[in-house]
Amino acid sequence: MSSSIPSKMKAWIYNEYGGVEVLKFASDVAVPEVKEDQVLIKVVAAALNPVDFKRRLGKFKTIDSPPPTVPGYDVAGVVVKVGSQVKGLKEGDEAASLPLAIETAYEGLERAGFSTGKSILVLGGAGGVGTHVIQLAKQVFGASKIAATASTGKLEFLKSLGVDLAIDYTKVKFEDLPEKFDVVYDAVGEGDRAVKAVKEGSSVVYIAGGATPPGFFFVLTSNGEILKKLIPFLESGKVKPVLDPEGLFPFKKVNEAFAYLETNRATGKVVIFSI
Ligand code: NDP
């Protein structure tokens, strides 16, 4: 298969930090060389994450490699070349999608010590991460009660994912509710408010901004082990990817897909197809 790998590929690329307008479509981008611990994937579909536009805006420029950059983390496709040190993958293997959001969801629950019989409040329940936190809390960790926040039109959707108490953040301040939770998972960046909703001595997981003690912030560190643990739940359909019905974009419209994600209103994942 290696002999049929082209030297150039289509890609969306940016040469400078900025808004959606810096993204340019190009059909002559060099196909990357595979290092010994890497594989080359022929991408069939991809999903966007907020980190993709935060990088493009230059928010991580002190730690990021400088442009030109082809954005994106989550892909589905076929392995076409394997580095010499790679174990467990071979040419022709089909590679998985949706890792970043589901792995973030799982790692946060694990770090918070979430376990059977505990209750949780998910802030930002309708987003890419929140939809997975809800499903994992229920199906994998055995939550006793799940509450989550979203705007008015998404409350029924939250219930369909397994939420017992859907909180309309346009009408109710979650921190003023008398009920407190064993864990609060903050995928919005609610700071001080989030710690007011947790029981004494319990955890708040922050992924979208600074943490207020006793809460903690973390950045996803997984190397794929979490996905392996979750395969039975994904294959049985107990945990499902949630694709935003308005968030499916052909490859030619990647800039529109970014603009949509950047509205901060996406429900589940924004996906690029027909690559
Ligand atoms: P999304 O773009 O999928 O989130 C969009 C959702 O957020 C919408 O459904 C929206 O619902 C909801 N939302 C927006 N504002 C509020 C609010 N005030 N209260 C409740 N819900 C709200 O983002 P992701 O879920 O993919 O990511 C969430 C955050 O986590 C991002 O900032 C991202 O960068 C960060 N992140 C951090 C990681 C880490 O390792 N630390 C890893 C992954 C993500 P509605 O329309 O109803 O408002």
Rounded to whole angstroms, the maximal C-alpha distance in the chain is 65
Work out which ligand 1 atom sits closest to the CA atom of 104: 42
153, 170 Cβ separation under 8 angstroms: no
Say if ligand 1 is within 6 A of residue 243 CB: no
* Rounded Cα distance, 204 and 52, in Å: 25
CA 9 from centre of chain: 26
Say if ligand 1 is within 6 A of residue 128 CB: yes
* Rounded Cα distance, 121 and 140, in Å: 16
Beta strands of 49-159 (E only): which ranges? 74-82, 94-95, 119-123, 145-150
Alpha carbon distances (Å) from 116 to 139, 147, 158: 10, 15, 20
Say if ligand 1 is within 6 A of residue 220 CB: yes
What pLDDT tens digit does each residue of the chain (275 aa) get? 455 899 999 999 999 999 999 999 999 999 999 999 999 999 999 999 999 999 999 999 999 999 999 999 999 999 999 999 999 899 999 996 557 999 999 999 999 999 999 999 999 999 999 999 999 999 999 999 999 999 999 999 999 999 999 999 999 999 999 999 999 999 999 999 999 999 998 999 999 988 999 999 999 987 778 988 999 999 999 999 999 999 999 999 999 999 999 999 999 999 999 77
* Rounded Cα distance, 229 and 65, in Å: 31
* Rounded Cα distance, 138 and 184, in Å: 14
Ligand 1 mean position to 124 CA, how many Å? 5
Q: Please tell me the predicted confidence (pLDDT) of residue 225.
A: 86
Best of 151, 243, 263 for a ligand 1 pocket test (most atoms within 8 Å of beta carbon): 151
Q: How many residues does the chain have?
A: 275
Contacts of 263 (CB under 8 A, 6+ apart): none
Burial of 50 (0-12, 13-18, 19+ CB in 10 A): buried
Ligand 1 mean position to 126 CA, how many Å? 8
For atom 6 of ligand 1, the residue with the nearest CA is 127
Q: Please tell me the predicted confidence (pLDDT) of residue 50.
A: 98
* Rounded Cα distance, 131 and 133, in Å: 6
Q: Please tell me the predicted confidence (pLDDT) of residue 274.
A: 79
Best of 102, 122, 172, 188 for a ligand 1 pocket test (most atoms within 8 Å of beta carbon): 188
* Rounded Cα distance, 193 and 270, in Å: 28
Ligand 1 mean position to 86 CA, how many Å? 34
* Rounded Cα distance, 110 and 121, in Å: 15
Ligand 1 mean position to 37 CA, how many Å? 32
How many Cβ atoms from other residues are within 10 Å of residue 99's Cβ? 21
Q: Is the interface score ipTM higher than 0.85?
A: yes
Q: Please tell me the predicted confidence (pLDDT) of residue 2.
A: 52
Ligand 1 mean position to 12 CA, how many Å? 24
Alpha carbon distances (Å) from 136 to 66, 139, 141: 36, 5, 6
